[in-house]
A and B are shown apart, each in its own frame.
Chain A
């Protein structure tokens, strides 16, 4: 009798565990399928194409080769890569310098104002990105808003060349990615306990020391998140340099786009894509390393 109860109980337990496993599987399957078809598979395809020979009219010939990687040694590509990194880095720093005070300003307003101000940050997203970038052409071109204004004030004799150069690209990048910096910063700063400022000052720290010792470490998470969110897409940008840089300021993204759509050299396009993935992975890995160490420290 007792044995039977026990067996029954064990079966019951076993089925319960099985059911939980089944539930878990059902829940995980959609995400797994999604990730497999839209992340793992394309990534594998890119990896595969990068070691195959170029097809004459696009596509690939199923012939193994490493020549596509050898082509990377050409200094021309190093130049483009360097410029991409430099522009993305500059954009990130500029966004941080503009975004941090702005996020701080918004987060320290009375609560009823904060949402309105945040809305103002987000509103540009309601317009298509292309349209907004074209708007900068109207502002920056030789007969554009800035030049007309400056010459009507007699500050310049002839119009400035503001468009179709690195300057225009940088403006476009900073403009386009600023909200990605502000939002994570705001989320962090909004949770910041402002009474810590009083405590720090009370203990003898002036404004600068308070910022360096208290505010900065406690908002570091938002800074890192914002920088990643700006840097990663900025490295791969191809629309902004295309439109605002003319054909003169080429970035990695343009190169990838050209190889696939212009030169129809899929394997080399794949190689460039892999280079970009590696570049983007480096800061992410550093971020995770830091986060890990922080976890361990606590």
Chain B
């Protein structure tokens, strides 16, 4: 597999005010494949933009090395790197027309005027901005400005295109449309896209692979499905979509699975390969849409007991908050396939909650965070 970008043991520290050192990136290793749509996903301040700026050459790593197509970049300035960036605020040149903005990068390469004209035309056609060549950036809408920024970077035919939250300033509908368009465009032009975003839905929609970052560290790298279905840590499970966390205690390990006492109430056999000692406390992750609600009268030995605390109608589905016997709460989402039966569950009603062992994900983290640490004691 050919690599477009490789970050090897990259560390980045900044000197803040009063000269205190701040570690933005810690010992980062990342491999981005040629031709893939790769997203750097994380909350603000996680270092994702710093990584992008190090690839582009605006920052140089304190330690470690950035390689683009196998070539170490060292301190090579941005104007000598085979990458281009679409900036968060677009950074269009206000004194130049749309065509001049797009032509700028080609002029810097010393390409002949005739060729520049045809390539600028092609790029503007690709982003569907024909006819606006002679406008100034401030005469354009946000979405159009975004397209100019895209055309300006694409026209250079870079090996890698970097995006720094480019859709952040657009309204929801436009953002959704642009997401699909960007994805289609990436498949059309076939160059590597590295995309920084804090919007997990955006990352899931567009990416071939996603790196989830927190506090300067990569927590998990994988396809959208892997990130959503098989989170390897609590942060990823919590950050991508909604998750329920239940404590479990290992009772027995047998033929490729664990027998776990879930929430101190229910014994389930959960598929899990690695060996875990008996008695170990683990965290079980389960997505709200994979839990089913049943009336109290429903006979099911593999169900948890709970009381409905809250019901929120969300259009496509309804969101229930249920309190379990252990006092921990569970969020359940239920698609509104049969609207007539919606109000079957009401606040205060006792219910049975069915969790299928296969849809549970085991994390070897034995607490639900400091606030529920006492929950661990209840189990033993």
Contact = CB atoms under 8 A, between A and B. Distances in A.
Contact of B89 (A195, A203, A218): A195
A196 B91 contact: yes
A75 interface: no
Interface residues of A, number: 18
Contact of B108 (A196, A198, A204, A218): A204
Interface stretch (A10-18, A168-176, A205-213): A205-213
Contacts of A201: 57-58, 77-79
Contact of B84 (A193, A203, A206, A214): A203
Nearest to A220: B95
Contact of A214 (B56, B83, B93): B93
Interface in B199-214: none
Interface residues of B, number: 24
Contacts of B109: 204
B295 interface: no
Contacts of A214: 93
A44 to B, nearest CB: 42
B158 to A, nearest CB: 10
A90 to B, nearest CB: 30
Interface string A148-192: 000000000000000000000000000000000000000000000
A217 interface: yes
Nearest to A199: B91
B138 to A, nearest CB: 9
A203 B77 contact: no
Interface of B, secondary structure class, is loop
A133 B163 CA distance: 56
Contact of B87 (A199, A213, A217, A218): A199
B152 interface: yes
A268 B114 CA distance: 61
Given A204-B105, A298-B136, A217 B84 contact: no
Contacts of A3: none
B113 to A, nearest CB: 16
Dominant secondary structure of chain A at its interface with chain B: helix
B156 interface: yes
B95 to A, nearest CB: 5
Nearest to A213: B104
A204 B79 contact: yes
B85 interface: yes
B190 interface: no
Interface in B69-117: 77-79, 83-85, 87, 89, 91-95, 104-105, 108-109
Interface string B145-171: 000000011001000000000000000
A202 interface: yes
Interface in A110-137: none
Given A198-B87, A199-B87, A213-B104, A206 B77 contact: yes
Given A198-B58, A198-B78, A199-B87, A205 B108 contact: yes
Contacts of A202: 56, 58, 78-79, 83-85, 153
Contacts of A298: 136
A198 B79 contact: no
B156 A196 contact: no
Contacts of B84: 202-203
Given A193-B89, A201-B77, 6 more contacts: A195-B91, A198-B58, A198-B85, A202-B58, A204-B105, A298-B136
26 contacts: A193-B89, A193-B91, A195-B91, A198-B56, A198-B78, A198-B91, A199-B85, A199-B91, A199-B92, A199-B93, A200-B104, A201-B57, A201-B58, A201-B78, A202-B56, A202-B58, A203-B79, A203-B84, A203-B153, A203-B156, A204-B79, A204-B108, A205-B79, A214-B93, A218-B95, A298-B136
Interface of A: 193, 195-196, 198-206, 209, 213-214, 217-218, 298
Closest 7 CB pairs of A and B: A203-B105, A204-B108, A199-B91, A201-B78, A195-B91, A204-B79, A202-B85
